Amino acid sequence: MPRAIFYILLLLVALSLIPVAAIYKSRHAGKARPRIQIVYDMDQQVKFKNQAENPFFADGRAMRHQPAGTVARGALDADEAFIGNRQGDARAALQAADRVVEATYAYPYQNHAPMEPMNATALWTSERCEVWCPTQNGEAALTAAAEAAGLPASQCEVYKIHLGGGFGRRGAFHDFVTQAVTIAKQLPGTPVKLLWTREEDMQHGHYHPITKAKMTGALDGNGDLKGLHVRISGQSILASVRREWMTDGKDPVAFQGMAPDGDHAISYTVPNLLVEHAMRNPPVPPGFWRGVNINQNAIYLECFMDELAHAAGKDPLEFRRTLMAKHPKALAVLNAVAEKAGWGKPAPAGAHRGLAVCKTFASYVAACAEVSVDASGKLKIHRIVAATDPGYAVNPQQIEAQVEGSFVYGLSALLYGECTVKDGAVQQANFDDYPSMLIYDMPEVEVIIMPSGGFWGGIGEPTIAVAAPAVLNAIHAATGKRVRQLPLSKADLLRS
């Protein structure tokens, strides 16, 4: 037999054994974990229930899981709260108002839910530790690996591989790296691949924080907004994840989209404004989730702006414009989506439109959504026009892709995203009870890129914020109903 043919046959035999070995190993994978009997110390966790059931966020009661430096009591109506933005005297304006408009909104826990569950491969010896993992933060992964390995960072190596979704879960948290290295230490010199199950990934996350907001606006006799009081109640991400970023106990990130200035400044000038955060930190671990706090804050502010406009008997676009004279870049993106979407002109039969605008991560973004709701209350999002001014546009095609992708994530959260807590544990376990948006449900997205220069803004996170409030405002135009608590899948959208 020729030598070449012999080696080819030998290679084929060797390759044929690989699936057998893989099947053998896969039959044993995951067998040990179910045999481990874990006893949890539930303590306060078992007493904590869902947002809708727990009065903790709505009244003056607090839990003992308060980090140092937070307020001691109160929530939506309590005396104490951290102030994030104050102009004039909002409470006096409310007292003198011809009409006071009030609404309370709520945002649930949400999971990052990447398609690829948490995983890592680790190889440990007494001299060196190597880790292969999908991560958004290689330095943090290296720190986690070194600590778990008991070795200096100079003797550790982390190889970043392509990730199947991160959205913040693989940025500040590397518990999966710690776990993989800890296991590998028990098998020196043997590579250990750790892959969480979908259920483990879903129920052991660091969740988008739970919050509520009480919005109170003061209108004068002409329907002009003279005062606005925003009281946010809920979790602080920084109190759990980055305490060193806090200022005198205050979480500045909680005020995204409502700050007096900076990368997350409010897009309106209100003569009397008060924005507060009554921090409440229940035991469910929070985390940075794509867009962070601008996701709920944009809903609170932009949906309430729509409510104020309707209470004043004014067009939502014109009502906003009167408050945005000193915010020309924000006004420019708002005008751009309104013009392209055909605001003020008849919409297609059965369709209705809604607007939203904000500044976040230094970029100015706006959206106009076009939706319909049929006689049975079924929602269809037909079209979203989105505009973004990130300062500079280096790669317009990439910007367009990021905007479109952010809407997939933002609309999935709007339609379906809710994690509920029972007996100290998250109830949702897989995509059957925590679904994501399907291609069939995805609207057409028209992206307007309008860089004005002079600054560098974000792309992937800012536009996620305006999708939900634009759709919610369009739903009100279609049905006359205000949806103030997510997800939409639980809302009754039958016309009022």
Asked whether residue 281 carries a pLDDT value surpassing 60, the answer given is yes
pLDDT band at 483; cut points 50, 70, 90: very high
Q: Cα–Cα distance between 96 and 78 in angstroms, integer?
A: 22
On whether the CB atoms of residues 321 and 284 are closer than 8 A, the answer is no
Locate all alpha helices (DSSP H) within 167-312, ordered by sequence: 175-184, 198-203, 237-241, 294-311
Q: Which helix (H) or strand (E) holds 60?
A: none
Residue 250 or 4, more confident: 250
Mean pLDDT of 19-34: 55
Q: What is the dihedral of CA 162, 168, 172, 174, to 10 degrees?
A: -50
Q: What is the chain's length?
A: 496
Any idea what DSSP says for residue 258? T
Q: Which residues lie across from 129 on neighbouring strands?
A: 124, 156
Asked whether residue 120 carries a pLDDT value surpassing 80, the answer given is yes
Any idea which residue has 């102009």 for tokens?
A: 87
* Strand ordering across the sheet containing 352-360: 352-360, 363-373, 379-389, 444-449
Instruction: Please tell me the predicted confidence (pLDDT) of residue 65.
Output: 37
Q: Cα–Cα distance between 211 and 226 in angstroms, integer?
A: 26
On whether the CB atoms of residues 131 and 158 are closer than 8 A, the answer is yes
Q: Cα–Cα distance between 432 and 492 in angstroms, integer?
A: 21
Q: What is the pTM of this model?
A: 0.89
In this predicted structure, which of 24-28, 134-138, 384-388 has the lowest mean pLDDT? 24-28
φ, ψ dihedrals at 343, nearest 5°: -60, 135
Q: Which two tokens stand for residue 442?
A: 């995805």
175-213 residue pLDDT tens? 999 999 999 999 999 999 999 999 999 999 999 999 999
On whether the CB atoms of residues 156 and 129 are closer than 8 A, the answer is yes
Mean pLDDT of 242-263: 96
Q: Which two tokens stand for residue 426?
A: 């998250």
Residue 234: name the closest of 299, 172, 283, 282 by CA: 282
User: What radius of gyration, in Å, describes the C-alpha atoms of the chain?
Assistant: 25
On whether the CB atoms of residues 355 and 320 are closer than 8 A, the answer is yes
53-110 residue pLDDT tens? 454 455 444 433 333 223 323 489 888 899 999 999 999 999 999 999 999 999 999 9
Q: Which helix (H) or strand (E) holds 470?
A: helix 464-479
Cα within 13 Å of Cα(65), Cβ side: 17
Q: Which two tokens stand for residue 375?
A: 């006689």
On whether the CB atoms of residues 228 and 90 are closer than 8 A, the answer is yes
Instruction: Please tell me the predicted confidence (pLDDT) of residue 286.
Output: 96
Instruction: Please tell me the predicted confidence (pLDDT) of residue 35.
Output: 81
Question: Which of the residue ranges 20-34, 326-340, 415-429 has the most confident prediction, judged by mean pLDDT?
Answer: 326-340
Mean pLDDT of 13-26: 41
282-325 residue pLDDT tens? 889 999 999 999 999 999 999 999 999 999 999 999 999 999 99
